[in-house]
């Protein structure tokens, strides 16, 4: 699965950091923010990363095999676990359809636990063309308070059934998915080395996040942000989190409150504070990102993350977001050099 490896801290927005009120600096202080200490901060050393096991390697390879699987239509039997059923469904409470409860041509892998308990199991045993009602209940801790604990009836139509055909791990397959390896043995070593590197990076990122949190603890907000800045940031948050909130059937406000345990407005204020702190540190450490840096990062997405070309990369993440990500990475590298790991 193609996915962006997020290097930004949670809440540090991948939008322009040049916000009104954060541009004029004097040392490490501006009209809004003062940072008392950011050099020589002590950070507790994280536990040594666990060793990569054969099971870890096999699990990673299996995920690659799964990603390269193909599907074939099933016409001679009913749905069973592991199949993908293409379905239409309409959810109703008290006879009324509710927002986010309906879809058409939805490809659902049976056993993926994507839907509430019982929904996927209800499809097992049905054939393409069947339409039926299933009565269920949303869990008490469901993300949307409007749906949590409520009884629901779904009318489900099975439109088609398909099964996954997973390739075998062979030298031929390795040559297809890897630019570095030509044999299964070489590929297993490549995967192991990659997992070791990932574990090391995770430990480094934990140290960076700890450092950032300590810097934020040392940052004092000197005056309130303007209503215009807060309103603009709230708008940005709604745009950036709309898709994710919708995936969980929640409003952006509910999603932010549940995930970050604060109101949307407080989250916006926290983001603005982080942006100002980052602005000050970027200027103090003379962090600059060139067009060549951005091009190199885009090439990384193509070579390492499976994107086809620059156009596909930029359809998933904007140049502005890449620029911001690189700023953060360079900044944290600079700050970590002056940080004591206990």
The domains found in the chain, sorted by start residue, are: 33-41+218-341 (1.10.3120), 70-165 (3.10.50.40)
Contact in structure between 220 and 31 (CB atoms under 8 Å)? no
* Per-residue model confidence (pLDDT) at position 338: 85
- pLDDT at residue 22, rounded to an integer: 56
Confirm if 133 and 153 have CB atoms less than 8 A apart.
Answer: yes
Task: Say what the pLDDT of residue 196 is.
Answer: 95
181 contact partners, CB below 8 Å, separation of at least 6:
174, 175, 187, 189, 190
Query: In the prediction, which pLDDT does 8 show?
Result: 34
- pLDDT, tens digit (0-9, with 9 covering 90-100), for 287-306: 999 999 999 999 999 988 87
β 42-43/340-341 pair status: parallel
| Per-residue pLDDT, 66 | 92
pLDDT tens-digit readout, 135-150 = 999 999 888 888 999 9
What Rg, from alpha-carbon coordinates, does the chain have? Answer: 24
Distance CA 73, CA 15 (A): 44
Low-confidence ranges of the chain (pLDDT < 70): 1-27
Cα(109)–Cα(120) distance, integer angstroms? 8
Whether residue 131 contacts residue 123, with contact meaning beta carbons closer than 8 Å, is answered with no
The predicted-structure confidence for 4-61, as pLDDT tens digits, reads as follows 333 333 334 344 343 444 544 334 887 778 998 888 788 887 777 789 999 999 999 9
| 86: phi then psi, degrees, rounded to nearest 5 | -85, 120
| DSSP symbol at 29 | B
* pLDDT the model gives residue 195: 95
Q: What is the pLDDT of residue 256?
A: 95
- Burial (CB count <10 Å: 0-12, 13-18, 19+), residue 135: exposed
pLDDT of residue 31: 76
pLDDT for res 21: 45
Contact 35, 219 (CB under 8 A): yes
- Within 8 A by CB and 6+ apart from 31, the residues are 21, 24, 222, 223
| DSSP string of 141-180, one letter each residue | T-S-TTTTT-EEEEEEEEEEEEEEEPPP--HHHHHHH-SS
Reported for 111-115, long-range contacts at CB under 8 A and 24+ positions apart, including other chains, are 111/81, 111/82
Rounded to 5°, the CA angle 257-244-217 comes to 45
Separation of alpha carbons 259 and 189, rounded Å = 38
CA–CA separation, 80 and 127 (whole Å): 10
pLDDT of residue 44: 82
């Amino acid at each position: 699965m193609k996915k962006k490896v997020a290097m930004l801290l949670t809440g540090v927005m991948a939008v322009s950091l040049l916000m009104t009120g954060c541009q004029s600096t004097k040392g490490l202080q501006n009209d809004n923010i003062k940072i008392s200490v950011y050099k020589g901060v002590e950070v507790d050393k994280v536990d040594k990363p666990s060793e990569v096991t054969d099971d870890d390697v096999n699990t990673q390879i299996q995920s690659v095999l799964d990603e390269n699987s193909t599907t074939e239509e099933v016409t001679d039997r009913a749905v069973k676990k592991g199949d993908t059923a293409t379905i239409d469904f309409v959810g109703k409470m008290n006879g009324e359809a509710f927002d986010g409860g309906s879809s058409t041509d939805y490809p659902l892998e049976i056993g993926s636990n994507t839907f509430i308990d019982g929904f996927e199991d209800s499809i097992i045993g049905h054939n393409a063309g069947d339409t039926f009602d299933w009565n269920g209940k949303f869990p008490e801790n469901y993300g949307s308070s409007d749906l949590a604990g409520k009884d629901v009836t779904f009318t489900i139509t099975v439109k088609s059934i398909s099964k996954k055909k997973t390739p075998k791990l062979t030298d031929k397959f390795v040559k297809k998915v890897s630019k570095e390896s030509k044999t299964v043995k070489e590929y297993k070593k490549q995967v192991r080395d990659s997992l070791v590197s990932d574990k090391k990076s995770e430990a480094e990122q934990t140290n960076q996040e700890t450092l950032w949190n300590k810097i934020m603890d040392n940052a004092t907000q000197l005056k309130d942000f303007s209503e215009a800045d807060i309103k603009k940031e709230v708008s940005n948050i709604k745009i950036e989190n709309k898709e994710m909130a919708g995936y969980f059937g929640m409003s952006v406000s509910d999603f932010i409150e549940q995930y970050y345990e604060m109101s949307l407005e407080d989250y916006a204020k926290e983001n603005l504070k982080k942006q100002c702190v980052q602005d000050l540190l970027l200027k103090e450490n003379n962090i600059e990102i060139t067009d060549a840096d951005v091009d190199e990062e885009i090439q990384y997405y193509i070579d390492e993350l499976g994107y086809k070309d620059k156009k596909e990369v930029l359809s998933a993440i904007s140049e502005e977001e890449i620029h911001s990500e690189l700023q953060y990475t360079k900044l944290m590298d600079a700050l970590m050099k002056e940080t004591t790991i206990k």
